[in-house]
Amino acid sequence: MKRALIAGFVASALAFPAAAALKPGKKAPDFTAEGYQAGKPINFSLAEARKKGPVVVYFFPAAETAGCNLEARLFAEATDEFKANGATVIGVTSGNLDKLAAFSADTEKCSGKFPVAADPGAKIAKQYDATLAVRPGWSSRTSYVISPSGEVLLAYDNLSPNDHVSQTMAAVKAYKANK
């Protein structure tokens, strides 16, 4: 019985992550981070990426986990459409950092289409209020669209990986339509 109660509590906590603190219209913190694209080390700068257009910053809990693998594949499949709309995509995680290089290159996941940044200790995720309530050292599944001026255009927080691409794509297209 006790085990069932604990499992129910954990499932509830995972189903309802904290709402993203950075609301549309707020300034997004710039960050730089080391990471990988197509298995090769990169340094990512949000300030530099914003010079090219809007940036989709999607936080995910951990490389090589079922939901994160699916989300990475969905973002990889949509990368060309994001680029066609002037947007850059970056994945950021605090979990399973030792697997990030392979994850970035795997054709079933990122396919080398976009960079994934390592966030040891969830320092970047904390600035974006994107940490898991049940595991604060890991990123939550929260996606942001950041304008070239650094304004948050969208904050979407949902542990399910299914709608992050459609939500961020809609925000990128709305931004483009209004420019």
d(CA 140, CA 153): 19
Q: Mark whether 110 is an active-site residue.
A: no
20, 28, 68, 117: which one is catalytic? 68
By CB neighbour count within 10 A (0-12 exposed, 13-18 middle, 19+ buried), where does 137 fall?
middle
Phi-psi region of 112 (alpha: psi -120 to 50; beta: other; left: phi over 0): left
Q: Can you list the alpha helix ranges (DSSP code H) found in 2-147?
A: 2-15, 46-50, 66-84, 100-105, 123-127
Q: Which residues are catalytic?
A: 68
